[in-house]
Each structure stands twice: as structure tokens, then as C-alpha cells.
């Protein structure tokens, strides 16, 4: 089971998409390390608060090796310095972190600093960071206030809430994998158009 409501948080203007949903604007695919990045984090915090989430579990934690996950150069400590000891004790599958720590993990992922993981609370809340500054938030609550705040005040919500019906849930619809492989077709339930890492130049 996955959360019933899914949202795609993105800085890309939906008006700058072609008829296939591919982004064709000039927005950079890297984090600005500034106000836009802060808007992403504030949006996630708003959804977590309205969903009643205080703790999130780390799932499938990874750190970059010789090849990084994204366009930016990985940093020493993989962006985890100050969050976990240097030996990464506490950064393991199933570890619980507070929402503030989870937001710092998202910041590191947005900056491609070398760490990546899923952040989940069983079947009630998920945060998944995809390629090219796309963040997917799932909740078992409609989060109407968070949607309004994210769209009107922050301007980083791609679309209104989408409700995943029984079919989409049964198919295992979930947020975009941080993988260079093709995004499965069932991702369309989240408003995610199937594209590969190589499609970056035309469909960010």
C-alpha cells in the first residue's frame, strides 16, 4: 500500500511544457542553493506537518562512489556531515530521523552531494527525490492547506493533489526512482512522464 495522495514538487513552470508534458523552458536542473531550494524544503515541511508526521524512516540509503548521482560534484561526507558520524552510523535502512534531519537529507539530495535515500513513514507519508529537481510527496491525507501554501506562496507545486485509486495502488504506483533507467508507465499516476536521465536536455 502507498499513500493515497501524491504530489510533484518542482520549480519548473507547467506553462513551459510541450504537448507531451516535457519541460522545454530554460530553468536550470541544478539546485540554486538558495530561495528555490528553501521553498522545496518548506513545502515538504508543510505536507509533513499537515500529515501529522514527526519522524521518517530512511529507506535504501546510498552514497556515491567514484561516479556521482547527479550533475553537481559530490562532496566529502556525501552531504551527511553534521547529521551522522563520519562512519555514517545511524544512516541505515530503517533508521528513524526527525523531520528537520529529513529536510537536511533532502537538501543534500537536491544538491547531488553524494547521498540518496527514500524517506517514508510506513503507508502514510513518503518523500522521494528524483532526477532534475523533482520531489515527490505522498500522504494519506489530502493536505489542502499545504497544497494551497505550496502553490500560492511558494510556487513549486506542479499540480493539485492526485488521488491514487485502488488500481494504481495495486500496481504499486510510487514516486520516481533515483535511477537512470526508464521510469515505469504506472508513474503516470503521480503525473510523472516516463523519461530517462539522457532526456534531461529536453524534458527536465
Per-10-residue mean pLDDT for the chain, 204 residues long?
88 89 89 94 97 97 64 68 88 96 95 93 93 93 93 77 35 35 28 32 42
Q: What pLDDT is recorded for position 73?
A: 57
The residue whose grid cell reads 530503517 is: 94
**Grid cell in block for residue 194:** 516516463
Burial of 18 (0-12, 13-18, 19+ CB in 10 A): exposed
Q: What pLDDT is recorded for position 21?
A: 85
**What's the chain's length in residues?**
204
125-129/135-139 β-pairing: antiparallel
Q: What's 175's DSSP letter?
A: S
Domain count, the chain: 1
The H or E element that residue 120 is part of is strand 115-121
Find the angle CA(17)-CA(195)-CA(134) to the nearest 5 degrees: 65
Domain that holds residue 119: 5-201
What distance in Å separates the CA atoms of residue 79 and residue 77, rounded to the nearest whole number?
Answer: 5
Amino acid at each position: 500500500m502507498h499513500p493515497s495522495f501524491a504530489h510533484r514538487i518542482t520549480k519548473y513552470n507547467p506553462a513551459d511544457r510541450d504537448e507531451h508534458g516535457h519541460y522545454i523552458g530554460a530553468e536550470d536542473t541544478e539546485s540554486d542553493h538558495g530561495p528555490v531550494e528553501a521553498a522545496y524544503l518548506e513545502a515538504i515541511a508543510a505536507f509533513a506537518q499537515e500529515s501529522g508526521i514527526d519522524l521518517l524512516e530512511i529507506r535504501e540509503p546510498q552514497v556515491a562512489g567514484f561516479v556521482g548521482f547527479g550533475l553537481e560534484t559530490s562532496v566529502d561526507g556525501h552531504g551527511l556531515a553534521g547529521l551522522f558520524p563520519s562512519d555514517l552510523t545511524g544512516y541505515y535502512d530503517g533508521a528513524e530521523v526527525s523531520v528537520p534531519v529529513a529536510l537536511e537529507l533532502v537538501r543534500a539530495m537536491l544538491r547531488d552531494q553524494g547521498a540518496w535515500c527514500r524517506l517514508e513513514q510506513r503507508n502514510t507519508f513518503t518523500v522521494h527525490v528524483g532526477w532534475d529537481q523533482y520531489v515527490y510527496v505522498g500522504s494519506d491525507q489530502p493536505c489542502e492547506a499545504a497544497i494551497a501554501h505550496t502553490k500560492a506562496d511558494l510556487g513549486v507545486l506542479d499540480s493539485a493533489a492526485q488521488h491514487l485509486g485502488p488500481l494504481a495502488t495495486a500496481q504499486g504506483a510510487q514516486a520516481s526512482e533515483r535511477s537512470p533507467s526508464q521510469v515505469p508507465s504506472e508513474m503516470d499516476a503521480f503525473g510523472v512522464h516516463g523519461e530517462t536521465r539522457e532526456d534531461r536536455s529536453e524534458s527536465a
